[in-house]
Amino acid sequence: MNYIWMIFTAVISASISAETITLCSLERAGLSQKDGTGYYWELLRAIYREEGIELIHHSAPFKRCLQLVEREIVDGAVAVFRTPERTMKFNYPKSRLNVSTYGLSYLKETSQKEIKKGESSVGIIRGYDFSEWLPSNIKLVSLNSNTQAIGMLKLKRIQYHADDLQDVLFTLKEMGERPDQFAFKSLHTKNLYVPFTKNVRGQNLADRFDIGIKKVSIRGELKKLAEKYGINQDPV
């Protein structure tokens, strides 16, 4: 309760100025670090700087970020799929944040055929939904982070991990692990967005996201940031 109150107090204090925005993200290596560094945070600062808005970053597990947006405690969440259910709960901008390839990561010694067996375990970040891409007979294991997933793969407590393959590679690099220990199977490429609160302020921030990212793209800053972090980002 104290945790939620601290966030609420911080957001209320920040919202006294109309020129601030609070966004929440799961900590992702190289993309949205807890200290506010990473590709997503840099890009989002640039987008809202174009609109004269200061970004306040907040780090929390993915599922909690969505809950905080739904409860209007923060303004938006970073790097989220667009689904019919979420469209009912949040305001989405027209422009994507990124395009990412999702798939399976696993030790090279693990056969892809094993995923068809009922005893196979697949790690998945809490709040993510890959059910439509994966066989129905597998066991899903909820995890907090890719760091935890990689550790469990090496210990063979799970056979596969379903996530953004780019995120997994960034995490392996941060952990000092060799990517050549693992194999990667692409399943689906999908747009990632920043969903905002389902209110007038949220719609306004979504509209200003669309305006800001176009300005950042036209000026070439989007391309520079993508090159800096090694992101495969197409122009908006």
Each domain of the chain, given as residue ranges in start order, spans 2-97+193-229, 100-190
Pairing of strands 90-91, 121-125: unpaired
Q: What value does the CA radius of gyration of the chain take, rounded to a whole number of Å?
A: 18
- Please name every residue paired with 164 in a beta bridge, in sequence order, or none if there are none: 102
User: Residue 16: what pLDDT?
Assistant: 45
Question: Would you state the pLDDT for residue 115?
Answer: 65
CATH number 3.40.190.10 is the correct assignment for the domain at 100-190: yes
pLDDT at position 135: 72
Q: Is the pTM of this model over 0.95?
A: no
The CA distance from 195 to 92, in Å, is: 5
Chunk the chain into consecutive blocks of 10 residues (it has 236) and report each block's average pLDDT, rounded to whole numbers: 53 57 95 96 96 96 96 97 94 95 90 66 86 76 93 94 92 93 90 97 98 96 93 65
The CATH classification number of 2-97+193-229 equals 3.40.190.10
Q: Do domains 2-97+193-229 and 100-190 have the same CATH topology?
A: yes
What local confidence, expressed as pLDDT, does residue 84 receive? Answer: 92
Strands (E), 12-167: 20-25, 54-59, 76-77, 90-91, 98-107, 121-125, 139-143, 160-164
